[in-house]
Amino acid sequence: MNGIEIRKEGRAGILTLNRPEALNALTHQICLDAEAALRTWIDDPEVAVVILEGAGPRAFCSGGDVVQAAQAGRQGDYSLGRNFWRDEYRLNLLLADYPKPIVSFLHGFVMGGGVGFGGLVSHRVVGESTQVAMPECGIGLIPDVGGTYLLSRVPGQAGLYLGLTAARMGPGDAIWAGFADSFIPEADWPAVKADLIASGEVKLPQHPAPNSPLAAQSAEIDRLFSAESIPAIMSALEAEGSELATSALKALRRNAPLSMASTLAMIRPGPATLTKALRQEFRWTWRSMDEGDFIEGVRAQLIDKDRKPVWKHASAAAVTAEDVAAMLAPLGADEWEEDQ
């Protein structure tokens, strides 16, 4: 069914993202179908628990399928992307606030929209293959789908580091950063799912979390990413010259300057609630095609793949506080509301 399998089995409702050839990237229709199923299951006495999973070996979900939105935007049609984000964010909030337990099994790539789909629920399971990242600044976006909410709650400055560099978190990192809850070896997942289906009760086996390289680097990250602006952070990285600093600086030089400045403003100090985060993120993404760099970023990274985007701002220093404020200003009649 349009890239998602929806079924009931035993005491469980199961949503399986089923676009393995596209690394289970979310489409607008997948979001609508998932939302409809979840709302039906709220009042279904046969469904005691919901399971989220991704088909194929490589990814739970690699993100939102943004190419179609960018291509429509290139033709002057911004509504396709705006409608997708509006409905996707409504799904994100439903997943986070769902009245029944939801267990997501986050294998392989869990990026961008995949974090919004599986990373906001009540029970988030990771395994050996898990790689979590928020790579939006590289395509002229900001860490959305609740990303600014999650990143603002990572210890120290590591959330800002993750949002700006798209650094990938393994399973130990994801648990340390608050993007996941439990590590279970992937060989055990079929048995764990079978127990959930049979019992409808969430009694996950307990395993120690793997080591977190991110936690081990946190003191250096805190020192390098504590400055008040993107140019100042880049200067600190240039002066440091360590392996981490060199890698981070390369990422920041590649990203959209407006996206990075906005990400900094949105993560520090961070939104008070997920709802406020999604509303603020929608203001930004709503404007991202005509006032931001989204169309150019997707062109350079995903369509033409020349990796040579021409951003609206020539450098991080060229972005003003007024530029960021304009992207985050209220939308009036177009504002995102959770009950739309």
User: Is 322 considered catalytic here?
Assistant: no
d(CA 336, CA 82): 10
Among 3, 73, 112, 113, the active-site one is: 113
For residues 306 and 190, the answer to whether their CB atoms sit within 8 Å is: no
Does the annotation mark 136 as catalytic? yes
CA distances from 205 to 6, 84, 189, 294, 334 (A): 26, 37, 10, 42, 45
Annotated catalytic residue: which of 64, 119, 163, 292? 64
Which of 136, 173, 186, 296 is catalytic? The answer is 136
Say which of 53, 65, 88, 144 is annotated catalytic.
144
Structure token pair of residue 88: 């996707």
257-267 helix and 321-328 helix, angle to the nearest 10 degrees: 70
Give the three-class secondary structure for 269.
coil
Residue 133 bridge partners (DSSP): 111
Residue pair 292/140 in contact by the 8 Å Cβ criterion? yes
C-alpha–C-alpha distance, residues 182 and 217, integer Å: 22
Question: If residue 133 lies in a helix (H) or strand (E), which one and from where to where?
Answer: strand 131-133
In the residue annotation, 64 being an active-site residue is answered as yes
Question: In this structure, what token pair is assigned to residue 76?
Answer: 């002057």
Tokens for 322? Answer: 């007024």
- Which candidate, 206, 59, 217, places its Cα nearest to that of 130? 59
* Cα 34 from Cα 1, distance rounded (Å): 11
Q: What are the catalytic residues? A: 64, 113, 136, 144
